[in-house]
Structure 1
Amino acid sequence: MSISKKSAETLTWPEKGESRIPYQVYMDENIYEGEMDKIFRGSTWNYLGLEVEIPNPGDYKTTYVGDTPVVVTRDSNGEIRSFVNRCAHRGATVCMDSCGNTKTFTCVYHAWVYDAQGDLKGVPFKKGVNGQGGMPEGFDQSKLSLQKIKVETYSGIIFGTFDHSMEPLQTYLGDKMCGYLNRIFQKPVKVLGYQRQLMNNNWKLYFENVKDSYHASLLHLFFSTFGVNRLSQKGGIDLDETGRHHVSYTYGSLNEDLEAYKQSDLRSFSSKYTLEDPSLLVGRNEFPDGITLAIQSLFPGMVVQQIHNALAVRHLVPKGIDSCELIWTYLGFEDDDEEMTKIRLKQSNLVGPAGFVSLEDGGIGELVQKGIVGAPHEESFVEMGGTGIESQSFRVTETSIRGFWKHYRHLMGY
């Protein structure tokens, strides 16, 4: 269901602010178009990839900023560059492979050639044939570069922005979020594999879900049944000063108030279930702070996860008002021994499109998308943990969801 342009332009946010979310924002074509312009192509730093994915001059990968296709590459000087994957001539996709190594990029349509910086270097038949045709006098190919994206890196992670006056990346992330990134990217990483997942829901429904820490004990039966994550375990929510970024963290089963959890009579707790292969949850204590589960979201579409020893980056890509794609990049460290790599790969079965845990996350957004049809002027109720936006030393809260909507409203002008 889509809403008319007139209704999008007249959207009035509920008086109760970030604790009430109008369903219209999940189903309006014009709001979606505004998000691509004001958020993803606006004043934000977007996840592009990892330096380890393009280690050598000429290496490249294709990805997205919002729904805009882009190329990320390393030029002959070792500098990381990024540009929109759209020919300046007629708009065709220039780079069609997901990754590779090349000195130049050639559009298959009319063979316009670009270098690793996105500058136009060759136009076939520029002078015409036998003195006929060709480009007009005064044609200046230096003005027809691919649209360039400003790039900065932090802790081996590549970010890009369309706003070339954007504040420095480290300022955008903030000291607190940088600290959590340093915790995971504490030493050189290696990529263990990828998965992609299409979801039939608005991109914001998934990002809300990532920031919703208290659903884990209710929706994810595996989490609670086997003690991977319960709300009775010590943990909390950390927000940056703007509220746009968050971390949810859990310290595991030590000092857990298990009796209180049992007395809650939740369907997600049962002592009768066991794992046929208990080694799935056998790992190593590799983080000295004792945190066994940490989910970090960086506005507008990046997630960094640690679930026991399963490390991954998730990249959320909008595909329309009711569709999005999630790209999982599974990680290990370069100095991992063979046994540690096996542990990470086995525990990666907890997550991903068919993971024991996150299988439900891929479907719950679709249930919401279906449920709100016909109710664009109704709104959600987001008051768990209060109505404020601040870090909290517990996880029965929706504070980080409210933080997301605060920054969203700021950028969108609502």
Structure 2
Amino acid sequence: MSEFHGWPDAGVRRLPQHIYTDRDNFQRELDKIFFANSWNYVALSCEVPEPGDYILSSVGNVGVIVSRDRKGAIRVFVNRCTHRGARLCEKRKGNNKLFTCPYHEWRFNLEGRLVGVPLSQGVKGKGGMSAQFDPQNHGLKQLNVCERHGVVFASFSNDMVPLETYLGPKVLRYFDRVCDGRPLKVIGKHKHVVAGNWKLQIENVKDTVHAAILHSFFTLFGIWRSDQETEIVVEDKGMHSVLASTATFSKQQTHSEEVDSEFSLLDPSLIAHEAEFSHATGAVMTIWPNLIFLQQLNCLVMRHVEPVSQDKCVKTWTFFAYEDEDPALTARRVKQANLLGASGLVTIDDNEILASCQVGLQQQSQFECAIEYGEGTSDCDHMVSESAIRGFYNYYRQVMEL
């Protein structure tokens, strides 16, 4: 066991190296964040439209089954048989009348109750379950579930505030801006490994500064620039934040002679978009602890970051559209999903730089990251600020008791 490291005197303007590299700190995060009082994104409800439909997801590093029961309610179970702990479901999605363990074929109904135990009476009057065994005490572990406008969250805690209170009015306004009650449909999924601590990924989308520096594609074609109209919104406790910006396409979405006239898009439709919302062509929400809710141009996606270890996470992208929208708009979303997704012209930059950060952080103990852009932990109207990152760590320190 490693010793407790504490926190720098400079507060959230300094982030200690050990929160990204220490194995015990990672386990403490699971216990105090993911398995405690957090609403964790798990799925879109349209992914399980019919009774018996299920998909696999995760809360922290625990695999869960998101399913719809016989009465149409969404339930979230730990993907673990209550007998010996084997995984119940291996396929990513499917439809079941019962969840059957492959080890001893214990069977659970869609409400999670244990309804079948092979050889429970033994064979020829010998053996079987003990007199103390009660099937009612061996149902699947269920999580607390809430849903808003087709987005499903789950928690190990039964003492949770309503999601609307959890998000707060400032972030809820942006959430409802995209998920406004219209039926949703999934148009694609990506999944990939990031060789870095899960918090690096969350910080990355709270960081307005890097987007106009690291992502030359964004800058070159006017999608995200430092001089754009920008709003950084930080929830009062620092838990969640929104980065909203309005693109300035200087050359009608083809190329930017101000940056470098050599470059242009052979297919300008890659970034062509139609205005869907009242302001901002891009809004990136980070919802505590590990959901990135992205609206960029016409691309809509839930980016779910699964913490695997102190130096690795897995990110699942669920791209979606509105059920009744124009097929041409859906086609545009699909194209932009490939632009912005796991192997697109932006995320590949992040994947490489976050892996580089993880290597650098592991090289030497007692290093402290300097989070000095801008002031405070509150809202601001420009891009050159790390206020959303500082807000996140204000809340992190509170929850982690650091």
Assess same fold via TM > 0.5: yes
CA distance in structure 2 between the aligned counterparts of 1:346 and 1:251, rounded to whole angstroms: 20
Give identity over the alignment, percent.
Answer: 39
What is the aligned counterpart of 1:274 among 264, 274, 277? 264
Q: Which residue of 2 aligns with 1:398?
A: 386
Structure 2 residue 299 is matched with structure 1 residue 304: no
Quote the offset at 1:215 in angstroms. 0.6
1:376 and 2:365 aligned: yes
1:356 Cα deviation from its structure 2 partner: 1.1
Residue 6 of structure 1 corresponds to 2
Q: 2: distance between equivalents of 1:409 and 1:235?
A: 28
Q: Distance in 2 between matches of 1:142 and 1:358?
A: 47
Asked whether 1:356 is paired with 2:345, we answer: yes
Aligned residue number for residue 253 of structure 2: none
Partner of 1:107: 101
1:225–1:271: 8 Å Cα contact kept in structure 2? no
Q: Deviations over 1:205-256 (max 9, x none)?
A: 111101111110000010001101101111120011111101001122189x
User: Aligned partners of 2:74 and 2:109: how far apart in 1?
Assistant: 13
SS at match of 1:117: coil
Aligned AA for 2:238?
Answer: G
TM-score (normalised: structure 2): 0.96
Which runs of structure 2 are paired with 1:232-381 in the superposition (5 Å)? 232-253=227-248, 269-287=259-277, 289-381=278-370
Per-residue CA deviations over 1:308-348 (Å, capped at 9, x if unaligned) read: 11111100011111111110111111122221122111122
- Give the conservation status (yes or no) of the 8 Å contact 2:197–2:312: yes
Q: How many residues are paired up?
A: 397
Whether the 8 Å contact between 2:223 and 2:249 is mirrored in structure 1 is no
Q: CA deviation at 1:376?
A: 2.5
- CA separation in 1, counterparts of 2:366 and 2:349? 27
> Is contact 2:232-2:379 (8 Å) kept?
yes
Q: Any residues of structure 2 matched to 1:10-409 within 5 Å, and which?
A: 10-186=4-180, 187-253=182-248, 269-287=259-277, 289-386=278-375, 388-409=376-397
Runs of 4+ residues over 3 Å off in structure 1: none
Q: SS at 1:393's partner residue? A: coil
Q: Counterpart amino acid of 1:233?
A: Q
Does the 8 Å CA contact 1:237/1:400 hold for their aligned counterparts?
yes
- Range that drifts further, 168-177 or 146-155: 168-177
DSSP 3-state at the match of 2:111: coil
Helix, strand or coil for the counterpart of 2:33?
helix
Q: Is there any run of 5+ residues in structure 1 with no aligned partner, and where?
A: 256-260, 264-268
